[in-house]
């Protein structure tokens, strides 16, 4: 363990060569981006805006991958190169290393994936294993329950997946060969069926995560999406695939249909939370102890419902790390990129990327305000 951590440190400490070389790299980057290479962008005349961004490094635009202005001005290829540049800049600033050694050494990091390819996942997990000690979610929950972290290694890290995407099954050889504990949170009414994940089919005309539940379903239906409809192409894990993974993976609950809980009625929220636990327990014959709140959205009501339903832990996407004194129903988690490289992983796992994004605007997930505001809130 010592040697691998040292290796990671040496790798991060190659900052000196980066610091010396980065002005040259930046000059090259600017030269390659002063003219937009994306024909759609050029046709729209937006290429004129590329120079100010190339020259001025408009951080507000590039920190948000979904930014329309960022995409339009730079073109996707340029945007990705700039993003990689920023990741490198942040990594070799040594801030991630400092966070790891000063904060994450004593606090557990939980990371969140959705649907990475086996190649990306293997590359990222190898990088993480050189810097952290991967533990299971159960180990962390036990430590927090006992308020005793003596059984945890330094720099503990928990790997989780949300939703139960069909592609998760292809990760089996990676999970097996790298010997990492993994938890997958399943939508209990979508796995084992040909139903679809609504958020993969929501039009981009508005933020459907911020609509009252009935309005969300009604508007999605107007656009042709019906939650109960089954289609030929499967999006979620089948029961056979889950069975096949069950010796390697800890399966827990992610509600029934991925409803955004704070926007649901009391009755619907209770059903989503309680019934998902019941369905999975019946299927596995073992207690389901944790729920991941869809989109990370929760309020005091969801915490109470999860407790009543018999869960022991609730997982959010609140930014931060977990001490053994943490509230078990508000465990914090860091979002990873399903397609990123090693540099991005190092920066993201330190929480630095999420922190910078949240400086710019309110997070698009993690709703946890007063239950009095629960219904009908929109941004
Ligand atoms: Zn989800």
State which residues form the domain around 191: 95-373
Residue 159 lies in a domain: yes
What CATH number corresponds to the domain at position 336? Answer: 3.20.20.370
Which among 50, 71, 92 is the end of a domain? Answer: 92
pTM: 0.79
Q: What is the pLDDT of residue 367?
A: 52
* Judgement on whether residues 78 and 131 belong to the same structural domain of the protein: no
Q: What is the pLDDT of residue 103?
A: 97
Which among 92, 118, 149 is the end of a domain? Answer: 92
Residue 84 bridge partners (DSSP): none
* Judgement on whether residues 68 and 106 belong to the same structural domain of the protein: no
* Judgement on whether residues 364 and 244 belong to the same structural domain of the protein: yes
* Judgement on whether residues 188 and 295 belong to the same structural domain of the protein: yes
Instruction: Show the DSSP H helices in 132-205 as ranges.
Output: 137-146, 172-178
* Judgement on whether residues 206 and 64 belong to the same structural domain of the protein: no
* Judgement on whether residues 62 and 77 belong to the same structural domain of the protein: yes
List the chain residues with pLDDT less than 50: 1-11, 13-71, 364, 369-379
Which residue, 251, 103, 123, 241, is CA-closest to 181?
251
- Tokens coding 88: 């490198």
Q: Please tell me the distance between residue 224's alpha carbon and the centre of ligand 1 in angstroms.
A: 21
Q: What is the pLDDT of residue 278?
A: 98
Q: Please tell me the distance between residue 12's alpha carbon and the centre of ligand 1 in angstroms.
A: 32
The secondary element (H helix, E strand) that includes residue 158 is: strand 156-163
Q: What is the pLDDT of residue 81?
A: 83
Which among 92, 112, 139 is the end of a domain? Answer: 92
How far is it, in rounded angstroms, from Cα 242 to Cα 347? Answer: 31
3-state helix, strand, coil in the chain (%, to 5): 55, 10, 35
Q: Which residues contact 211 (CB under 8 A, 6 or more apart)?
A: 219, 263, 378
Q: What is the pLDDT of residue 95?
A: 94
Ion ligand 1: residues, CB within 5 A, are: 162-163, 294
The secondary element (H helix, E strand) that includes residue 315 is: strand 313-315
* Judgement on whether residues 29 and 166 belong to the same structural domain of the protein: no
- How many Cα atoms within 13 Å fall on the side-chain side of residue 299? 19
Q: Please tell me the distance between residue 100's alpha carbon and the centre of ligand 1 in angstroms.
A: 27
* Judgement on whether residues 218 and 288 belong to the same structural domain of the protein: yes
- Tokens coding 103: 């904060």
Q: Please tell me the distance between residue 338's alpha carbon and the centre of ligand 1 in angstroms.
A: 13
Q: Please tell me the distance between residue 195's alpha carbon and the centre of ligand 1 in angstroms.
A: 15
Domain count, the chain: 2
Residue 156 lies in a domain: yes
How far is it, in rounded angstroms, from Cα 199 to Cα 295? Answer: 10
Q: Please tell me the distance between residue 254's alpha carbon and the centre of ligand 1 in angstroms.
A: 7
Q: What is the pLDDT of residue 42?
A: 33
Q: Please tell me the distance between residue 294's alpha carbon and the centre of ligand 1 in angstroms.
A: 5
* Judgement on whether residues 289 and 327 belong to the same structural domain of the protein: yes
Q: Please tell me the distance between residue 111's alpha carbon and the centre of ligand 1 in angstroms.
A: 13
Residue 163 lies in a domain: yes
Q: Please tell me the distance between residue 112's alpha carbon and the centre of ligand 1 in angstroms.
A: 10
């Amino acid at each position: 363990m010592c040697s691998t951590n040292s290796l990671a440190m040496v790798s991060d400490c190659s900052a000196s060569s980066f610091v010396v070389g980065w002005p040259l790299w930046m000059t090259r980057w600017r030269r390659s981006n002063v003219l937009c290479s994306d024909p759609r962008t050029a046709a729209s005349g937006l290429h004129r805006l590329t120079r100010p961004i190339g020259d001025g490094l408009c951080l507000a635009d590039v920190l948000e991958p979904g930014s329309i202005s960022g995409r339009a001005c730079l073109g996707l290829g340029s945007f990705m190169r700039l993003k990689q540049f920023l990741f490198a800049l942040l990594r070799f600033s040594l801030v991630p290393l400092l966070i790891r050694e000063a904060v994450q050494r004593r606090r557990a990091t939980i990371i969140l994936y959705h649907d990475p390819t086996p190649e990306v996942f293997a590359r990222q997990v190898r990088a993480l294993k050189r810097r952290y000690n991967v533990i299971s979610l159960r180990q962390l929950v036990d430590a927090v329950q006992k308020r005793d972290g003596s059984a945890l290694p330094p720099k503990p890290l928990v790997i989780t997946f949300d939703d139960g995407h069909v592609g998760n099954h292809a990760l089996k050889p990676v999970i097996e060969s790298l010997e990492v504990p993994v938890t997958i949170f399943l939508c209990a009414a979508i796995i084992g069926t040909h139903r679809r994940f609504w958020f993969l089919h929501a039009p981009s005309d508005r933020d459907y995560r911020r609509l009252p539940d009935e309005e969300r379903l009604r508007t999605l239906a107007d656009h042709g999406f019906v939650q109960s409809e089954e289609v030929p192409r499967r999006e979620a894990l089948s029961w056979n695939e889950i069975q096949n993974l069950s010796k390697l993976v800890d399966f827990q609950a992610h509600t029934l249909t991925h409803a955004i809980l704070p926007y649901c009625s009391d009755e619907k929220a209770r059903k989503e939370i309680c019934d998902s636990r019941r369905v999975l327990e019946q299927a596995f014959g073992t207690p389901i102890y944790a729920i991941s709140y869809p989109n990370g959205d929760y309020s005091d009501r969801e915490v109470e419902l999860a407790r009543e339903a018999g869960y022991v832990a609730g997982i959010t996407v609140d930014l931060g790390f977990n001490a053994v004194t943490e509230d078990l129903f508000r465990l914090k988690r860091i979002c990873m990129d399903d397609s990123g490289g090693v540099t991005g992983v190092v920066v993201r796992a330190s929480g630095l990327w999420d922190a910078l994004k949240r400086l710019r605007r309110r997070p698009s997930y993690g709703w946890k305000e007063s239950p009095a505001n629960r219904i009908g809130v929109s941004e």
